[in-house]
Chains A and B, each alone.
Chain A
């Protein structure tokens, strides 16, 4: 149900550690924001496009991943074409497409575990301030992934129960029971976590 967007591979981007890769993405995106020259932006689109294309994704899968944002960007391109000058509209569109392709490349070449390591490091200063515990982040992520399929099944069950009683299936009717029945588990889950000393308390 929730498959990671990571793909296996041995390309340069795959081998680069997650930290530097994310720093590179941030730096390039920020730099592109200040570039106004069309040739440079066209070049960056070509480079990021080649990069994204060389990751070993099938053409269909590669397109499917970026389609929602791609549509948004193209929609804004059309609107901008009417509202601002064609050069400005083209500049923005090329920039947004480059950033999209680079970001999608980083996402495709970085495992969840590598991301979590970087995040834990990023959160360490906050941990020193006593604001949160970095280990709690991975615990929470694990909990979410564990419960999504279960809540989805519960939603289907509620739908069935409504149909069986001849009631129309309406979100406004299902939300209450869905949320109450899910959150009622919180106490026993929290007790199970504490009983095992997972948070080290």
Chain B
């Protein structure tokens, strides 16, 4: 790992923390307020790629563990990492990796803009939503004892907000690809 990779990951972790400081917004048509922070999974993967993206999130989990209130709403400390929603937080690391892996394969420079956006959006949906939910929901069920089917139903409330986040992340990822491309590209 080069020093540049390390610095890029650390700067991205800092961006994710700042996104957590922005107050959550309530959109009329979604029952739950959405925070900008969980969009970071999609942003990290699509902008700095799989390895550095996962590193950025690993670093975030580490900061939570050592007792810094870096999660949205000023959450932090070991209590968060051992609570019912811990699976989502660990799932972010793997989610960011999968988003990056897919984006590195789907998107390259010189493609038409629509193609790039479609690639970023698909990568964000699969890695940022499917993977994160697939890890988070069973852990909720295991720790809180709530039946899995009910957890799945409850999670549906967050789905519209997360799809919206994937769309916003796609716009940002494309803007960065045009302005300052960083995504490693693989065949």
Residues on A lying within 8 angstroms of B by beta carbon are: 1-6, 25, 29, 65-66, 68-69, 72-73, 76, 79-80, 83-84, 88-89, 91-92, 96, 99-101, 103-104, 106-108, 110, 112, 115-116, 119, 132, 136-137, 139-141, 143-145, 147-148, 150-152, 155, 171-172, 175-180, 182-187, 189-190, 193-194, 199, 201
Contacts and interface: CB of A to CB of B under 8 A. Distances in A.
B172 A179 contact: yes
By Cβ-Cβ distance, the 6 closest A-B pairs, closest first, are: A176-B175, A107-B77, A103-B78, A143-B10, A115-B66, A175-B172
Given A141-B63, A190-B3, A100 B82 contact: yes
A76 B83 CA distance: 11
21 contacts: A2-B68, A4-B68, A5-B68, A68-B75, A68-B80, A76-B140, A100-B82, A107-B76, A143-B10, A144-B13, A151-B18, A152-B18, A175-B43, A176-B176, A178-B15, A179-B172, A179-B176, A180-B175, A183-B12, A190-B3, A194-B3
B59 A69 contact: no
A25 B21 CA distance: 29
A139 B13 CA distance: 13
B147 interface: yes
Contacts of B113: none
B180 A184 contact: yes
Contact of B75 (A69, A139, A151): A69
Contacts of A151: 11, 14-15, 18
B83 A5 contact: no
Q: Interface size for chain B: under 10, 10 to 19, 20 to 34, or 35 or more residues?
A: 35 or more
Given A84-B147, A194-B3, A104 B78 contact: yes
B163 interface: no
A193 B77 contact: no
A5 B1 contact: no
A183 B11 CA distance: 7
Interface in B1-40: 1-4, 6-15, 17-18, 21-22, 36
Contact of B150 (A79, A100, A201): A79
A44 B165 CA distance: 41
Contacts of A144: 10, 13-14, 17, 59, 63
A6 B36 contact: no
Nearest to A193: B3
Contacts of A108: 67, 77
A183 B182 CA distance: 9
